[in-house]
């Protein structure tokens, strides 16, 4: 569970007269949406909210080009309404979700994530101006939260990609990177043996094999690593 914390003093009054809608997404048709839908329904019952409808998409969270979500966003939700989502990643992936939260913020739509308690604050006893301030604060935190996740995911992806490339370099499997080898390690070893014997110079072999400097010396490193491993 993720908890975001804010401190508010001197809060009183009345707020939020909009409609309540749920949104749930499962990644494939094989997954079932019952658990998420039930969580939304139970939340509304506990807080005595009248739930108008739950919109469900069965597809990946890669982007927001989803039939039911587009209907909900473009044709249903209005200022003052509340959107309830069972878990923050059910709305979508972090980077894209940040943009959607900015849209909801600008249009006065409250977003409640059932796994983020701060978003579930009860506005029924809060004055309008104070409620607006609290809503803005919560939405700002959510946007910052998703921005942080997006940047973390990007850095993690880059790190894993770099580590994967290094492993492929060590094994000489450049074809998997979309960069096929100019020649096999065995063929290069036969040619490079002539450099070791002194029958051909490095620059001449590079020209003969039509290899640039980086590729040539990468193959040389592979050659030497292979030789060392055979000695062990």
**Does one domain contain both 80 and 30?**
yes
Which CATH number goes with the domain that contains 97? 3.40.50.1390
Pairing of strands 82-85, 51-58: unpaired
**Does one domain contain both 226 and 124?**
no
**Does one domain contain both 146 and 32?**
yes
Q: What is the pLDDT of residues 39-77, one digit of tens each?
A: 999 999 999 999 999 999 998 877 899 999 999 999 999
Q: Is the pLDDT of residue 12 over 50?
A: no
Q: What is the pLDDT of residues 74-96, one digit of tens each?
A: 999 999 999 999 988 888 876 77
**Does one domain contain both 111 and 26?**
yes
Residue 65's φ and ψ, nearest 5 degrees, are -85, 70
**Does one domain contain both 72 and 136?**
yes
Q: Is residue 92 part of a domain?
A: yes
Q: Is residue 31 part of a domain?
A: yes
| pLDDT on residue 52 | 97
18: exposed, middle or buried (Cβ count in 10 Å: 0-12, 13-18, 19+): middle
**Among 120, 151, 182, where does a domain finish?**
151
Q: Is residue 156 part of a domain?
A: no
**Does one domain contain both 26 and 129?**
yes
**Among 93, 116, 151, where does a domain finish?**
151
Q: What is the pLDDT of residues 85-144, one digit of tens each?
A: 998 888 887 677 888 988 998 898 989 999 888 788 766 566 667 776 777 787 677 767
On whether the CB atoms of residues 145 and 94 are closer than 8 A, the answer is: no
**Does one domain contain both 147 and 179?**
no
Tally of structural domains, the chain: 2
Domain of 187 in residue numbering reads as: 174-231
**Does one domain contain both 129 and 78?**
yes
How far is it, in rounded angstroms, from Cα 180 to Cα 178? 6
**Does one domain contain both 190 and 129?**
no
Please report how many Cα atoms fall inside a 13 Å half-sphere around the Cα of residue 68, on the Cβ side. Answer: 15
**Does one domain contain both 139 and 191?**
no
**Does one domain contain both 68 and 129?**
yes
**Does one domain contain both 131 and 27?**
yes
């Amino acid at each position: 569970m993720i908890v975001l914390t804010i401190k508010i003093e001197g809060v009183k009054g009345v707020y939020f007269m909009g409609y309540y809608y749920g949104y749930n997404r499962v990644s494939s048709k094989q997954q079932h949406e019952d658990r998420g839908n039930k969580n939304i329904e139970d939340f509304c019952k506990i807080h005595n909210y009248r739930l108008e409808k739950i919109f469900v998409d069965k597809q990946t969270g890669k982007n927001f080009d989803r039939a039911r979500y587009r209907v909900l966003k473009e044709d249903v939700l209005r200022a003052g309404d509340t959107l309830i989502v069972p878990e923050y990643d059910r709305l979508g992936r972090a980077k894209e979700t940040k943009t959607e939260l900015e849209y909801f913020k600008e249009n006065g739509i409250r977003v409640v994530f059932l796994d983020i308690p701060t978003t579930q604050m009860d506005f029924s006893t809060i004055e309008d101006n104070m409620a607006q301030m609290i809503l803005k604060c919560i939405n700002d935190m959510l946007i910052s939260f998703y921005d942080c996740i997006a940047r973390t995911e990007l850095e993690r992806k880059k790190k894993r990609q770099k580590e994967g490339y290094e492993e492929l370099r060590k094994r000489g499997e450049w074809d998997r990177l979309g960069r096929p080898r100019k020649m096999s390690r065995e063929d290069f070893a036969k040619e490079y043996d002539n450099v070791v014997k002194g029958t051909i110079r490095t620059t001449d072999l590079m020209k003969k094999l039509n290899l640039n400097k980086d590729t040539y010396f990468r193959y040389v490193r592979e050659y030497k690593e292979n030789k060392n491993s055979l000695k062990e």
